[in-house]
Structure 1
Amino acid sequence: MKVGVLGAGSIGSVVAEALRDGLVPGAELAGVVDPALSPAGLPMCALPELLSTSDLVVEAAGQRALTDAGPQVLSAGCDLLVVSVGALAADGLLEKLLAAGPGAVHLSTGAIGGLDLLRSAALLGQFERVVIETTKKASSLVQPWMSEAEAEELRQATAPVELRRGPAREITAAFPKSANVAASVALAVRDWDVVEAAVIADPAAPLTSHVITAAGPAGEYRFEIRNRPSPQTPTSSQVVPYAVLSALEALATPRAVFR
């Protein structure tokens, strides 16, 4: 399976290097597209060239890149592995991608687990309550929409503070680099309206925490995930590119794997 990578930042570069070095059985690197970055040792190219040589493209360039390039990837006949799942909070984008084929859409689990169980439980009946609370180091949660005073207060915080709580779509839009997980949970339970999300800033948090609680006809669930932040990009978790590599391995060499 020839894999193209869209984005050469802290996620895309790890994925591309692993593919280049032959660390993903059954898969090889076709090329990398990133207008802003050109890491040494990676075969950089333009998107049309990438689409002509790839079976699958990994989107690791952010929500805008998924919106702009995703339909092109799929209409060219390439499969698409989405990392910026939060972009799918936009009304109609998932439907647009699914209709753009013949390429297929795959979603990366990213920084969280439990999505398979939530997806299975949702088939039994609609969830009554789903909450995801994300806690990150305060300084990594400064957003462009904050005033300078709000941003500085967050940087200087000495105790945990809940920044925002609300519907998954709202929180994903407000924290696009930190709340992709809320979108992932909503897609897993097949109901954007039932998922409540919260983002909490903690100046002392050594790890990024995601606590998911859910109740429905199948039972009650509680998952807590505590990830180390990416050293290069603290808004993301260090495990994210390895979730992508795990997905690529499962797609390239199907065997006895959990899906």
Structure 2
Amino acid sequence: MKVAILGCGAIGSVVAHALQAGEVPGAELVGVVHAEKTDPPGLPVLDVESATAQADLVVECAGQRALAALGPDVVAAGTDLLVVSVGALADDALLAKLRDTGPGRLHLCSGAIGGLDVLAAAARTGGLDAVRIVTTKKAPALVQAWMDEPAAERLRTAAEPVQLMRAPAREVTAAFPASANVAASVALAIGDWDLVEATVVADPDASLTSHVITAEGRAGDYRFEVRNHPSPSNPTTSGVVPHAVLTAVARLAAPTGAFA
């Protein structure tokens, strides 16, 4: 399976180098597409048209805006697309374009969390009554462009945990696009954006990024807690995410014997 990477930052660069080194049996890197002025050293660089033409699978690691701008063209050309920035799929029109128009197929990466298969099964077993996710990150990593400077500085210098937002997953995903893909993943897994309540907490003492997911329904009660080390090159994402991407690529490249 020939693979192209869209984006070559903290996630995409790790994925690209691992594929180039042959770490995923059955998958071969054809190149990376990126928007920076300087090309990443040691990696083949393509434009998006060449990547789509040469690859069987394009892996999006470039963020929500890039996915919205380029994703529809990828699947329309008949190339499969693996999405990391699942928060962009809060836009129903974009989700429909990527999922329903084809002929390329849409695949989603679970990213920094687990338990999505159980939540999806529980949602099909009589439905879920309540689903919540609380994400806690180190405070400076949650500064957003829409914050004014005094608010951003208060966050950078916070001495105790601060709840920044508590709202439906769709709203939180839009407000924290680099930090709330996990809330979007939960909403997509259960098929209900409005049911999922997401909370973002800034904690100056948080050495790990935590996601606590709770759900109740006819099938049972569920609680998952995930605590990840931040990426050393980008604290807004977890270091495990590129390896979740590589796991997803491995399943697509050689699905026999893998969990679906």
TM-score, scaled to structure 1: 0.99
Partner of 2:4: 4
Q: Name the CA distance, whole Å, in 2 between partners of 1:106 and 1:99.
A: 12
Matches within 5 A, 1:105-184: 105-184=106-185
Question: Match of 1:213, as an amino acid?
Answer: T
Q: Which residue of 2 aligns with 1:104?
A: 105
Give deviations 1:112-131, integer Å, cap 9, x for gaps.
00001001111112210000
Asked if structure 2 preserves the Cα contact closer than 8 Å seen for 1:4 and 1:56, the reply is yes
Paired residue type of 2:132: V
User: Which digits, 9 at most, give the CA deviation of each residue in 1:71-111, with x for residues without a partner?
Assistant: 11101111000000000112321111123310000000000
RMSD: 0.8
Output the CA distance in 2 between the equivalents of 1:176 and 1:52.
29
Deviation at 1:217, TM superposition (A): 1.0
Aligned to 2:246: 245
Q: Secondary structure at the match of 1:103?
A: coil
1:226 matched to 2:227? The reply is yes
Please list every run of 5 or more consecutive structure 2 residues that lacks an aligned counterpart in the other structure. none
SS for the counterpart of 1:71 is helix
Whole-Å separation in 2 of the counterparts to 1:67 and 1:147:
26
Larger mean CA deviation between 247-256 and 170-179 belongs to 247-256
> Are positions 1:217 and 2:212 aligned together?
no
The AA in structure 2 aligned to 1:31 is: G
In structure 2, C-alpha distance between the alignment counterparts of 1:118 and 1:177, rounded to whole Å = 23
Distance (Å, rounded) in 1 between the aligned partners of 2:180 and 2:160: 21
Deviation beyond 2 Å, 4+ runs, structure 1: none
In percent, how many aligned pairs have the same letter? 63
Could you tell me how far apart the structure 2 residues matched to 1:195 and 1:254 are?
A: 31
Give the aligned partner of residue 21 of structure 2: 21
**Residue in 1 aligned with 2:83?**
82
Per the alignment, in what secondary structure is the counterpart of residue 170 of structure 1? helix
State the 1:8 CA deviation: 0.5
Instruction: Output the CA distance in 2 between the equivalents of 1:5 and 1:207.
Output: 27
**1:245 shift after superposition:** 0.2
Q: Hey, what's the Cα distance between the residues in 2 that align with 1:108 and 1:146?
A: 29
- Identify the residue that residue 201 of structure 2 maps to in structure 1: 200
Using the alignment, how far apart are the partners of 1:79 and 1:67 within structure 2? 15
Per the TM alignment, residue 38 of structure 1 is displaced from its structure 2 partner at its CA by: 1.5
Could you tell me how far 1:258 is from its partner in structure 2?
1.6
Structure 1's unaligned 5+ residue stretches are none
The residue type equivalent to 2:174 in the other structure is: A
Deviations 1:184-234 (A, max 9, x none): 000011111110000000000000000000001110000000000001110
State the shift of 1:255 in Å.
Answer: 2.0
Residues 30-41 of structure 1: matches in 2 within 5 Å? Answer: 30-36=30-36, 37-41=38-42
Q: Name the SS for the 1:234 alignment partner.
A: coil
Q: Secondary structure at the match of 2:111?
A: coil
Secondary structure of the residue aligned to 2:16 is helix
Contact 1:143 1:151 in 2 (8 A): yes
**AA paired with 1:174?**
A
C-alpha separation in 2, matches of 1:214 and 1:38: 44
C-alpha distance in 2, partners of 1:171/1:102?
31
The answer to whether the 8 Å contact 1:208/1:227 transfers is: yes
Task: Assess if the C-alpha contact under 8 Å between 1:8 and 1:38 holds in 2.
Answer: no
Match of 1:71 in 2: 72
Output the CA distance in 2 between the equivalents of 1:172 and 1:52. 31
